[in-house]
Amino acid sequence: MTDTLKTDLMEINLGPQHPSTHGVFQMAVQLDGETIVSLKPVLGYLHRNHEQICEDVSYIGCFPYTDRLDYFCAMTNNLGLAVAIEQLGGIEVPERAQYLRVILAELTRLVNHTSVTGFLLNDMGAFGTPLLYAFREREKILDLFEMASGSRMMCNYIRPGGVREDVPEGFLDRVRGITAAYPRFLDEMETLLTENEIIRQRTQGVGVLPRELAVSASVTGPMLRASGVDYDLRKVDGYAAYPRMRFKVPLGLAGDVYDRYYVRVLEMRESLKILEQALKEIPASGPALSAKGQQIGRSPRTFRPPKGDAYGRIESPKGELGFYLVSDGSPQPYRYHVRAPSFINLTVLEDMCRGQKVADAIIILGSVDIVMGEVDR
């Protein structure tokens, strides 16, 4: 039939007003029947001039804007910028702050991976249920963020030289409580999803990202590791207190949507191990912000890093989050650039989708784990 009947390709636009494009993202898809022939991502609907704005404020003034990059992971965004500024200005970080950073970053990873799993299931048609289970757990962690920083999502908490102020009394105990209770939630989620035949059939062998392509396209984070490449900046760079933590880096075999889901589940289990160690080893007292950090926070204009540039990077839940800063010796960055993992991971979308069915494009996008705030900036 297909040999004899010749039809035109059909073009459809998925998004920008589409519930499963995770914000205002548009995919211009060309279809041959149900099969995707080409897919062009259309970006820029959420562009808000992040980099230029940050060149017009002091280094401290950039922090609240980084909260709005990937609004699921404000803490790790703060951490990435703090690491870059610390390199630029040669700022020391006290021991307790190093551990607090690890604790906050791993809680953020739990928040992100839990929610992305919920969203992925939402995209697959399991509307609501897994997402709300995920959001229930996320809520508990967001309460902790509010306790420490005063805001659930727009934390503005991690600063060059440590964290803005020490965590309040009882915070670490509540983190202990969450860490102890989380495995049960993960078990439950896995019962719900991991062996579910429908999920397996929808995701296994779908959206395969070959190892070589992942490496050559600079894909990072769980997506790269699901393709079987052992690369985790927590191990490679060893920032904050990570060199003292013992944890494994879970790797996938096939690099399909299922592996990306499962790598995230395993990463959450490793995060819990890291949290346990960090909670055990964190110094009970000591400063949470170095003297220089306090000085910078109190009067941001006195901080004039020497001329030069620095690239600070961390393993954010989505991949390598890097901040490139150029200083001309003034209190404001001369150049401020964000290497956003969501954006770079998205570049392989067409390669993963070509030849797949149109319904699969939605879950392949869901498995990339993007947040438009970070893609468009």
Partner 1 sequence: MIGWGVLKGMGVTLRQFVGTYPAGRRLLKALRLPEGDGIFTISYPETKQQHAERFRYFPFLVYDATPDNLRCVACKICEQECPPQCIYITMAKDEQNRPLKTNGRTFPAQFDIDVAICMSCRICVDVCPFEAIEMDNRHEISTHGRGPELMFDKSALLRSADYFQQIKPTEAATVNARLAAKAAKAQPPKPAAPTPPAASASDTGGASGTTTPPPPHA
Q: Which is nearer to partner 1, 10 or 180 (CB)?
A: 180
From residue 51 to residue 90, the character string flagging contacts with partner 1 as x (rule: CB under 8 A) and all else as - is --x---xx-xxxxxx-------------------------
Asked if 148 interacts with partner 1 (CB under 8 A), we say yes
Rounded least distance, CB 213 to partner 1, Å: 31
Residue where the block lists tokens 């297909």: 2
In 3D, which of 166, 110, 167 has the Cα closest to residue 139? Answer: 110
In 3D, which of 183, 105, 368, 182 has the Cα closest to residue 259? Answer: 368
Q: What does the block give as tokens for 327?
A: 């200083």
Please check whether residue 169 is in contact with residue 160, taking contact to mean a CB–CB distance below 8 angstroms: no
- Return the residue of 129, 204, 330, 347 that touches partner 1, per CB under 8 A: 129
Q: Is 96 helix (H, G, I), strand (E, B) or coil?
A: helix
Asked if 156 interacts with partner 1 (CB under 8 A), we say yes
How many Cα atoms occupy the beta-carbon half-sphere of 56 within 13 Å? 6
Rounded least distance, CB 62 to partner 1, Å: 8
Q: Which residues have CB under 8 Å from 230's CB, separation 6+?
A: 249, 251
Segment 200 to 239, residues that bind partner 1, using CB under 8 A: 200
Rounded least distance, CB 147 to partner 1, Å: 4
- Return the residue of 11, 139, 212, 328 that touches partner 1, per CB under 8 A: 139
Asked if 47 interacts with partner 1 (CB under 8 A), we say no
Render 36-89 in DSSP notation, one character per residue. Answer: EEEEEEE--TT---HHHHHTTS-TGGGHHHHHTTSTT-HHHHHHHHHHHHHHHH
Asked if 154 interacts with partner 1 (CB under 8 A), we say yes
d(CA 17, CA 14): 8
Q: Which is nearer to partner 1, 162 or 221 (CB)?
A: 162
Rounded least distance, CB 299 to partner 1, Å: 4
d(CA 107, CA 111): 6
Asked if 173 interacts with partner 1 (CB under 8 A), we say no
Rounded least distance, CB 36 to partner 1, Å: 28
Segment 265 to 304, residues that bind partner 1, using CB under 8 A: 297-302
User: Please, what is the end-to-end C-alpha distance for the chain in angstroms?
Assistant: 47
In 3D, which of 263, 111, 258 has the Cα closest to residue 193? Answer: 258
Q: Is 27 helix (H, G, I), strand (E, B) or coil?
A: strand
Packing angle, helices 257-281 and 358-368, rounded to 10: 20
- Return the residue of 30, 35, 38, 196 that touches partner 1, per CB under 8 A: 196
Rounded least distance, CB 143 to partner 1, Å: 7
Q: Which is nearer to partner 1, 78 or 227 (CB)?
A: 78
Q: Which is nearer to partner 1, 62 or 346 (CB)?
A: 62
Rounded least distance, CB 103 to partner 1, Å: 17
- Return the residue of 31, 147, 215, 217 that touches partner 1, per CB under 8 A: 147
Q: What does the block give as tokens for 226?
A: 């699901």
Residue ranges of alpha helices (H) inside the chain are: 50-54, 63-67, 74-89, 95-124, 129-149, 171-193, 197-203, 211-216, 222-226, 233-236, 257-281, 291-298, 341-345, 349-353, 358-368, 372-376
- Return the residue of 19, 150, 243, 283 that touches partner 1, per CB under 8 A: 150
Q: Which is nearer to partner 1, 58 or 356 (CB)?
A: 58
Q: Which is nearer to partner 1, 196 or 218 (CB)?
A: 196
- Applying CB under 8 A, the span of 88-96, 129-137, 235-243, 334-342 interacting with partner 1 comes to 129-137
Q: Applying CB under 8 A, which residues contact partner 1? A: 53, 57-58, 60-65, 129, 133, 136, 139, 143, 146-151, 154, 156, 164, 168, 184, 188, 191-198, 200, 297-302
